[in-house]
Amino acid sequence: MSTVTFADIEAAAGRLEGLAVKTPLIESPALNARLGARVLLKPETLQHAGAFKFRGAMNRISQLSAEERARGVVACSSGNHAQGVALVARMLGAPAVIVMPADAPAMKVANTRGYGAEVIHYDRYSEDRDAITREISATRGMTIVWPFDDPDIVAGQGTVGLELVGQAKDLGATLDVVLTPVGGGGLAAGVSTAVKHLSPGAKVYGVEPSAFDDTARSMVSGHREKIDPAARSICDALQSPAPGAITFPINQRTLDAVLTVTDGQVAEAVRYAYTTLKLVVEPGGIVGLAALLAGELDVSGQTVGVVLSGGNIDPALFSRILAGEL
């Protein structure tokens, strides 16, 4: 089974130099006072295409041969990976096809098309997106860029953790705790690998929506658990059907635990980020902060890093959350 080393993440950082945004760390006195901790927020909302996914997509696609780029790439995603792949493909001159669920946020679909990609819809509750993606790859000769279960993708996402630890050090801080969202596990695997290498004493927690707690349950059972097809959540970015075959073994080794949050707790965090932190963060991107605000983890007296993984929230959903309807 393929794995990812810190050296892989360092190599990815080299490929991303000058291409990806080195997103800053943001600190809020109000948030620190509320939690009794020093909280350093890593807003990947400011990354190209509005989410961390650009990092993995660039690390993967930039390594394709000229012939492979000419044939193009195909990916499956509910939105953030879709946009990241579409943007990178445009930057590198490669055609792109993105397989997206029919109920994906309209803004994410529009942005993906805006970057020049062809979008093919499927029903996430009755169709197999991976099978559709493989068929397109076979018939069109396109390279598949998987959303999380690929070592190059994980290594690219791991640059978030590499930057986080280095930026905290520049602020005179040593991280005690790091929280990162978990969907298929690529971001968590990359971040935790980097953090554990650079700051071995830090605890790293993944955070999932309570309705999509496959990684949390998998950590307990020791094998990859699946999600109930009937599950629903406002966290569209974290609705993978199961942990990845590559990402789960990494997360088993490197995550200290996986926390879960309800949609209500997520909505409250989205409101808090907007009203207090002046940040627009999508539901799936804010689960780490949601866990802290809800008291799911006591971090009093500690220095905490929180990855805010994306800011591509549908305007209609954002309005409903701000109005207190969710």
Query: What's the number of domains the chain is made of?
Result: 2
Residue 78: the pLDDT is: 84
Residue 303 sits in the same domain as residue 214: yes
62 in any annotated domain: yes
Q: Tell me how far apart the alpha carbons of residues 41 and 98 are, in angstroms, rounded to a whole number.
A: 30
Residue 176 sits in the same domain as residue 229: yes
Residue 199: the pLDDT is: 97
61 in any annotated domain: yes
Nearest CA to 76 out of 30, 112, 110, 40 is that of 112
Model pTM above 0.75: yes
112 in any annotated domain: yes
Residue 193 sits in the same domain as residue 71: no
Last residue of a domain, one of 122, 144, 166: 144
Residue 37: the pLDDT is: 98
Last residue of a domain, one of 144, 167, 199: 144
Residue 110 sits in the same domain as residue 254: no
Measured over all CA atoms, what is the biggest interatomic distance in the chain, rounded to whole angstroms? 56
Residue 64 sits in the same domain as residue 76: yes
Residue 194 sits in the same domain as residue 121: no
190 in any annotated domain: yes
36 in any annotated domain: yes
The set of residues, in sequence order, having a beta carbon less than 8 Å from that of 107 and lying 6+ positions away, is 312, 313, 314, 315
Active site residues: 53, 309
Residue 137 sits in the same domain as residue 202: no
Which domain range does residue 291 map to? 6-51+151-322
Identify the CATH number of the domain in which residue 136 sits. 3.40.50.1100
Q: Which parts of the chain are beta strand (E)? A: 38-43, 73-76, 96-101, 118-122, 143-144, 177-181, 203-209, 257-261, 303-308
Residue 106 sits in the same domain as residue 163: no
1 in any annotated domain: no
Residue 222 sits in the same domain as residue 170: yes
Residue 116 sits in the same domain as residue 128: yes
160 in any annotated domain: yes
Residue 1: the pLDDT is: 56
Residue 124 sits in the same domain as residue 233: no
Q: Residue 275 carries which DSSP code?
A: I
- Answer yes or no: are the C-beta atoms of 309 and 44 closer than 8 Å: yes
Which residues in the chain show pLDDT less than 70? 1
Residue 125: the pLDDT is: 86
Residue 140 sits in the same domain as residue 206: no
Last residue of a domain, one of 144, 176, 191: 144
Percentages of the chain per state (helix, strand, coil), in multiples of 5? 50, 15, 35
The set of residues, in sequence order, having a beta carbon less than 8 Å from that of 239 and lying 6+ positions away, is 78, 124, 183, 209, 212, 227, 231, 233
